[in-house]
Amino acid sequence: MPRLVMKFGGTSVATVERIRNVARHVKREVEAGYDVAVVVSAMAGKTNELVGWVKEAHAFYDSKEYDVVVASGEQVTSGLLAIALQEMGLKARSWQGWQIPIMTSDAHGSARIAAIDGTGIIKGFADAKEVAVVSGFQGVHQPTGRVTTLGRGGSDTSAVALAAAIQAERCDIYTDVDGVYTTDPRIVPKARRLDKVSYEEMLEMASLGAKVLQVRSVELAMMHRVPTYVRSSFDDPADPKLGTLICDEEDIMEQQVVTGIAYSRDEAQITLRDIADKPGIAASIFVPLADANINVDMIIQVVSDNAATTDLTFTVPTADYERACAILNSHRDEIAFKELQGATDVVKVSAIGVGMRSHAGVAARAFKALADKGINIRAITTSEIKFSVLIESAYTELAVRTLHSLYGLDQA
């Protein structure tokens, strides 16, 4: 029988009644002839509550014990869903990450999946026609036998990795939205749900601010070629919508030049003034930041008239802004910058589309359209299938709406 992985997020399992609704979705797929593995998140709000308890117990907590505590939220949900499925007459059992096992690195709180042994789950399909209800977000570091967690959004990663491991026909990610949209419908009411998005486009959209899927899950789907649907758990289980399929570019008949507009408010800008324009200076800036696990994104260098000094502007996550400034100031003598300037009232707006590969002037049109609206661009980055601009946060909605209309995404 074909195999299917279904994943349900925190809002989908927020109450026992919603868990029963999830069970109805699962029952529909079982009756359609699938062997089903279900990956669940903790009930909405529970992970935050568990994290709060950890911090209340000790400000400088042991990361290994932190994982033990926060992983318990998914354990509760998996047990409750297994019970709900049994009440509907289906055979079901819960699986924790260490029981499968989902083997990970030992980076507690942000572990990466190393391997999954799906033998036990497949045996349950074959021998007992049993639905496997898997606790997402968690695994085990086998050398130490310690429970690990994959970081926020890790249940998406668990689901896609499990789908690859058991050779599932597809992976359905159920959320509180019915698919991937051309942009945030809260900003642009005319935003449209996309029927299909390529892996590359979804990877860019997820990394540039779209909150639909965790970036690592998209990477795994692309690496293992796992067809992945984004669907709504709040659809009628008897008549659900298909949602958005994330698939190979070749599986999409017609590609628009731009597929979607994403934005991220999690940006801070740092500018170093009058630094020497000589070899090694960039390394003296960015190596200490990398050593502190601070991701640097947009980078612009402007050489002065005398060609002896330069200004360097780059962005970091807002949460790392103060730490980045402190690190740079501690290396001031080595870098020899005259002044450090920063801003946190900035936003990154991006346009994504594989059609950019074969069309010239896509970004230039955007720059002109933003200029016509009086929006100043502070920084620009480009790749083969996207470009991003850094602007003042006050212009976020205007910029997103302008670009959405510019590329015809308002049109049905």
User: Looking at the structure, do residues 146 and 21 belong to the same domain, yes or no?
Assistant: yes
According to the annotation, is 118 in a ligand binding site? no
Cα 411 to Cα 239, 400, 403: the distances in Å are 27, 15, 13
Element at 404 (helix H, strand E): helix 396-406
Helices (H), 225-361: 281-291, 321-330, 332-335
pLDDT value of residue 47: 95
* End-to-end Cα separation, the chain, in angstroms: 38
Q: For residues 391 and 366, is the Cβ–Cβ distance under 8 A?
A: no
Q: In terms of residue numbers, what domain contains 10?
A: 3-249
User: Looking at the structure, do residues 44 and 127 belong to the same domain, yes or no?
Assistant: yes
Could you tell me the pTM of the whole model? 0.86
Alpha-carbon distance 68 to 71, whole Å? 6
Using the 3D structure, point to which of 206, 222, 249 is the last residue of a domain: 249
pLDDT value of residue 36: 98
CATH number where 261 lies: 3.30.2130.10
Query: Following DSSP, what letter does each residue of 32-96 receive, concatenated?
Result: TT-EEEEEE-PPTTHHHHHHHHHHHH-TT--HHHHHHHHTHHHHHHHHHHHHHHHHTT--EEEE-
pLDDT value of residue 209: 74
According to the annotation, is 123 in a ligand binding site? no
CATH number where 218 lies: 3.40.1160.10
According to the annotation, is 212 in a ligand binding site? yes
Angle among Cα 406, 408, 411 to the nearest 5 degrees reads 140
User: Looking at the structure, do residues 204 and 90 belong to the same domain, yes or no?
Assistant: yes
pLDDT value of residue 207: 84
Using the 3D structure, point to which of 197, 227, 249 is the last residue of a domain: 249
According to the annotation, is 348 in a ligand binding site? no
pLDDT digits (tens, 9 = 90+) for 22-48: 999 999 999 999 999 999 999 999 999
pLDDT value of residue 308: 77
pLDDT digits (tens, 9 = 90+) for 272-292: 998 888 888 899 999 999 999
- Which amino acid appears at position 296 of this protein? V
According to the annotation, is 178 in a ligand binding site? no
Helices (H), 89-214: 119-128, 154-165, 199-207
User: Looking at the structure, do residues 216 and 269 belong to the same domain, yes or no?
Assistant: no
How many domains are contained in the chain?
Answer: 2
Low-confidence ranges of the chain (pLDDT < 70): 254, 304-307, 412
pLDDT value of residue 251: 85
User: Looking at the structure, do residues 286 and 184 belong to the same domain, yes or no?
Assistant: no
User: Looking at the structure, do residues 236 and 343 belong to the same domain, yes or no?
Assistant: no
According to the annotation, is 9 in a ligand binding site? yes
User: Looking at the structure, do residues 49 and 183 belong to the same domain, yes or no?
Assistant: yes
